[in-house]
Amino acid sequence: MHNKNTYDTRIAALKAAVPYTLPILAGFLFLGMAYGVYMNAYGFSFVYPMIMSAVIFGGSLEFVAVSMLLSPFAPIAVFLLALMIQARHLFYGIAMLYRFKGLGWKRWYLIYGLCDETFSINYTAKIPQGIDRGWFMLWVTFLNQCYWVAGATLGGLFGGFLPFDTKGLDFVMTAMFVVIFLEQWMHEKQHYTAGIGILSAIICLRVFGPDSFMLPTMILILGSLVLGRGFLEKKVQGT
């Protein structure tokens, strides 16, 4: 067993992590900039998107937080709404419970930075042999957060002056999630749980609309998985 804290271990993990984060570099720079430009348009200094992107570190909540800052002060409503918007992260924590085991101090930062994209990569990436798992996940988390904060800060600084037509660039996130979903699909022997996810999301999107379908979707997924446990439990094992 090699030493986990040598310089070489860290650099090797960084080299392995960077390629996985490149689609997110494109997506986060763009989405982060969109967020910075958005705050800029409402008259906030670039310091706001810079700090908010770093400490809140949750895209949709940060956009909503802008309208919170422009509304009368309502701390309880803010806190409850923020909890609801971010509720899906509970799922990521449950899925990562064992993977973050025994990682010492790194664990706390990995939990803090557990956003959609970071979770997707750290959960699905095939970490090469000989690469330290903890450092790999730490680099993925850290790089992604840097991309996001950099994008938000740049957007806040430069507002609407972009040199090329970026229309449609946000599709990079969709494409990335499609790839991750496909990888997970090919990796699994059963597709019942994927089917439950698609159906729940589509049904709730139709019923509740695009702005409030995530919470009902999560409840429906959770309910279906719990009720179907007798049938599903054997099938999902070892996937």
Partner 1 sequence: MTFFEQVVTITLCALASVLTRAIPFLVFSPSKPTPALVRYLGNALPSAIFAMLVVYCLKNTSFITGSHGIPELVGIICTVITHLWLRQMLISTLVGTVVYMLLVQKFFP
Specify the residue, 7 or 230, whose C-beta has the smaller distance to partner 1: 230
Q: In degrees to the nearest 10, what's the CA dihedral of 28, 56, 150, 160?
A: 80
Count other C-beta atoms under 10 Å from residue 42's C-beta. 11
Span 97-126, contacts to partner 1 by CB under 8 A: 97-98, 100-102, 107, 111-112, 114, 116, 120, 123
Span 30-49, contacts to partner 1 by CB under 8 A: none
Q: Pick the piece of the chain touching partner 1 (CB under 8 A) from 127-135, 138-146, 151-159, 220-228.
A: 220-228
Please give the single-letter amino acid code of residue 224: S
| Min CB(7)–partner 1 separation in Å | 27
- Does the footprint of partner 1 cover residue 136 (CB under 8 A)? no
Specify the residue, 7 or 43, whose C-beta has the smaller distance to partner 1: 43
Instruction: In whole angstroms, give the CA distance from residue 183 to residue 155.
Output: 32
- Sole binder of partner 1 in the list 1, 2, 73, 160 (CB under 8 A): 73
Are 64 and 81 contacting, i.e. CB atoms less than 8 angstroms apart? yes
- Sole binder of partner 1 in the list 47, 90, 219, 227 (CB under 8 A): 90
Specify the residue, 146 or 205, whose C-beta has the smaller distance to partner 1: 205
- Sole binder of partner 1 in the list 136, 147, 148, 213 (CB under 8 A): 213
- Does the footprint of partner 1 cover residue 87 (CB under 8 A)? yes
| Min CB(6)–partner 1 separation in Å | 26
| Min CB(5)–partner 1 separation in Å | 21
> How many residues make contact with partner 1 (CB under 8 A)?
94
Span 152-211, contacts to partner 1 by CB under 8 A: 165, 167-169, 171-185, 188, 191, 193-198, 200-202, 205, 210
CB-based contacts of 146, cutoff 8 Å, min separation 6: none
Specify the residue, 62 or 132, whose C-beta has the smaller distance to partner 1: 62
Specify the residue, 137 or 214, whose C-beta has the smaller distance to partner 1: 214
Span 49-68, contacts to partner 1 by CB under 8 A: 51-52, 55-58, 61-62, 65, 68
Specify the residue, 2 or 43, whose C-beta has the smaller distance to partner 1: 43
DSSP string, the chain: ---TTSHHHHHHHHHHHHHHHHHHHHHHHHHHHHHHHHHHHTT--THHHHHHHHHT--HHHHHHHHHHHTSPP-HHHHHHHHHHHHTTHHHHHHHHTTTTTT-TTHHHHHHHT--HHHHHHHHH--PPTTS-HHHHHHHHHHHHHHHHHHHHHHHHHHTT--SS--TTTTHHHHHHHHHHHHHHHHH-S--HHHHHHHHHHHHHHHHH-TTS-HHHHHHHHHHHHHHTHHHHHHHHTT-
